[in-house]
Every structure is written in C-alpha cells, then in structure tokens.
Amino acid sequence: MSVKFNYAVDLEKLKLTPIEKKTIESAGVSSVFEGLFTGLLTQKYPDGVQGSTRKSLNRVLRKLDESENSGSVELEAAEVDLLKEVFNTETKVPASAVRLFSLFEEEVDKLAKEAD
C-alpha cells in the first residue's frame, strides 16, 4: 500500500527573508527537501548507506526527481520507514535548519499516521 507524502510545506510558516524565500522557490521545494533529507542521512550514516536503506533512499530520490516539484510523491512502506527514521525527535538538526526540519517532520508525522 502506498501513501501520499506532501513535501510542499507552507513556506509562509517560516519567517524567511525575501532572499531566502526566493532562493527556496528558485531551487524548488523538492530540491530543498532532498538536500535536508540526504544531509541528515549522511549525518546518521557517515560511512554511507547500504542494503535496504540504500534501495529505499534511491526510490525516494527517484520519485522526487520524477515529481518535478508537484509537491507530493507516493511512497511505499519501506520508504515511509526511512523518512520516519530521519524526521524524528532524536535527529540532530543544524540550528539553521530547525524551522524547515520541523515543517517536514510534521508532514512525516501525518504520513506515518496514514501508513499505520
């Protein structure tokens, strides 16, 4: 069973400067999500990912690429588990990314409830 993950968070919830907002908008929200997601995974797995984690990561990244900034992707259970592993209260987040992380964490929490 797949569930829909909305990565197009409401940037109005963030107190961004006009330059920060324009930077995020020009990069595309999927690129912003991908950057934070892969950065946190790199922190969690400093020696790299392998096995089922690598496969799940590859599928998530491919789906983000294919979504073309549509704002959402359909994820399978293993992919949802990977998101839950990264976006949780135990994850160490750079202070500069806390607001953005929190918005994505809220979406992952919603996703987890749907998947259960």
Supply angle C-alpha 32, 109, 20, rounded to 5: 25
- Under the banding of pLDDT at 50, 70 and 90, the label for residue 61 is very high
Domain that holds residue 70: 3-115
Task: Tell me the residue type at 56.
Answer: S
The pLDDT confidence band at residue 4, using thresholds 50, 70 and 90, is very high
Q: DSSP code of 68?
A: T
Q: What is the pLDDT of residue 82?
A: 94
Contact (CB, 8 A) for 28 and 98 = no
Q: What is the pTM of this model?
A: 0.87
Q: What is the pLDDT of residue 13?
A: 82
> Tell me: the pLDDT tens digits for 17-59?
888 888 888 888 888 899 999 999 999 999 999 999 999 999 9
Question: Which residues in 61-72 are b (16+ Cβ under 10 Å) and which e?
Answer: eebbeebeeeee
Q: Are strands 72-75 and 3-6 parallel, antiparallel or unpaired?
A: antiparallel
pLDDT at 22: 87
List b or e across 32-57, with b for residues whose CB sees 16 or more CB atoms inside 10 angstroms: bbbebbeebbeeeeeeebeeebeebb
**Number of domains the chain contains:** 1
Q: Which residue pairs from 31-37 have beta carbons closer than 8 angstroms and sit at least 24 positions apart in sequence?
A: 32/100, 33/7, 33/64, 33/104, 34/61, 34/64, 36/97, 36/100, 36/101, 36/104, 37/83, 37/86, 37/104
Specify the pLDDT at position 79.
Answer: 95
